[in-house]
């Protein structure tokens, strides 16, 4: 983790949020595009800056579980998960309280709200100083590859937002796990930085809801086509064409035009942290070299591999 910013810079960013402006900031997962979740104009500004459809809900970020549970109804399951994984890359979808401070647009008009407490010192300091719930999807244009550095944010949103706080590269590198606890049975809506195995160790069996074409999202991160570079992505590659860029995992396949290795040793945590940076680099360098697409080698469907494969599947899905 990087050191905190000078107090004056942090105070300015918090003041911008309270004034309804948009501020990008680092979390342990990816950089978020923050706005006051209780300010409908600020939330509308997030959708406009990203080009994000208004039916796709946003995640609200809080400095601690007490602040988060002031806006949603938390049962024993939610409190057990919060005690185990917050601060951390887990988002809980819970029923809104009648006195919820969050504008309905933030949750796309649903009776539920997605909440989390990020595990990054700069994010937590900003949330404490702002003193408001902060809606923050990934700080990139909608559907594109999520940003894991401040430079990535500026590539897509420069001129559209008020400020970017630079906290260095994100440590986890894929978005938070999204778990729906609004019903009797827990549902995994999006795999992410907290593994399914870790959640099941607390709750028992959890069913997974897969994204489907045309379905209205029940939470953030459920669109079928998402996290996509400009070049088409081919999954489960076992051989390469000379005009393809390779996203490798472990010993790389021969014959690629260019290669980005997620992890030469097959480490899933390293692979997750390098995924979005790799897709961005292969997209830019592959286009420069005339590559026709990106081929991704297989990644195990366990631990963080579930989240990596989820992002690759959406990157490879038919474009909207």
pLDDT at 194: 98
Closest CA to 277 of 190, 177, 172: 172
Q: Which residue has the tokens 């549902």?
A: 187
**Contact indicator for 237, 297 with CB cutoff of 8 Å:** yes
Q: Find the range with the poorest average confidence among 3-12, 193-202, 215-224, 259-268.
A: 215-224
Closest CA to 27 of 1, 58, 64: 1
pLDDT at 72: 98
Q: Note the helical H segments in the chain.
A: 7-18, 40-50, 65-68, 76-85, 121-130, 150-157, 196-203, 268-288, 305-316
Distance CA 77, CA 205 (A): 13
Q: Give, to the nearest 10 degrees, the angle between helix 305-316 and helix 268-288.
A: 20
Q: pTM here?
A: 0.93
Distance CA 5, CA 122 (A): 7
Domains of the chain with bracketed CATH: 7-208 (3.90.870.10), 233-316 (3.40.50)
- Give the mean model confidence (pLDDT) for residues 203-212: 88
With bands split at pLDDT 50, 70 and 90, how would you rate the model's confidence at 107? very high
């Amino acid at each position: 983790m990087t050191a905190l910013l000078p107090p004056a810079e942090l105070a300015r960013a918090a003041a911008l949020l309270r004034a309804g402006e948009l501020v990008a900031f680092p979390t342990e997962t990816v950089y978020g595009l923050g706005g006051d979740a209780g300010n409908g104009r600020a939330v509308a500004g997030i959708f406009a800056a990203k080009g994000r459809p208004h039916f796709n809900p946003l995640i609200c970020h809080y400095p601690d579980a007490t602040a988060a549970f002031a806006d949603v109804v938390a049962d024993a399951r939610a409190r057990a998960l919060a005690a185990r994984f917050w601060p951390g890359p887990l988002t809980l979808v819970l029923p809104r309280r009648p006195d919820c401070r969050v504008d309905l647009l933030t949750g796309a008009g649903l009776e539920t709200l997605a909440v989390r407490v990020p595990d990054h010192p700069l994010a937590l300091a900003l949330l404490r100083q702002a003193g408001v719930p902060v809606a923050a999807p990934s700080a990139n244009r909608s559907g594109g590859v999520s940003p894991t550095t401040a430079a990535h944010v500026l590539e897509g949103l420069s001129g559209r937002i008020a400020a970017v706080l630079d906290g260095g590269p994100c440590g986890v590198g894929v978005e938070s796990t999204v778990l729906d606890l609004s019903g009797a049975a827990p549902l995994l809506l999006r795999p992410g930085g907290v593994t399914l195995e870790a959640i099941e160790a607390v709750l028992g069996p959890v069913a997974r809801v897969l994204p489907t074409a045309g379905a209205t999202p029940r939470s953030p991160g459920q669109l079928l086509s998402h996290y996509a570079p400009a070049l088409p992505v081919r999954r489960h590659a076992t051989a390469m064409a000379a005009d393809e860029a390779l996203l490798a995992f472990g010993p790389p396949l021969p014959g690629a035009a260019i290669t980005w290795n997620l992890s030469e040793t097959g480490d899933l945590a390293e692979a997750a942290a390098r995924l979005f940076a790799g897709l961005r680099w292969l997209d830019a360098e592959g286009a420069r070299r005339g590559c026709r697409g990106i081929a991704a080698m297989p990644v195990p469907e366990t631990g963080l591999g579930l989240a990596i494969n989820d992002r690759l599947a959406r990157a490879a899905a038919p474009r909207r």
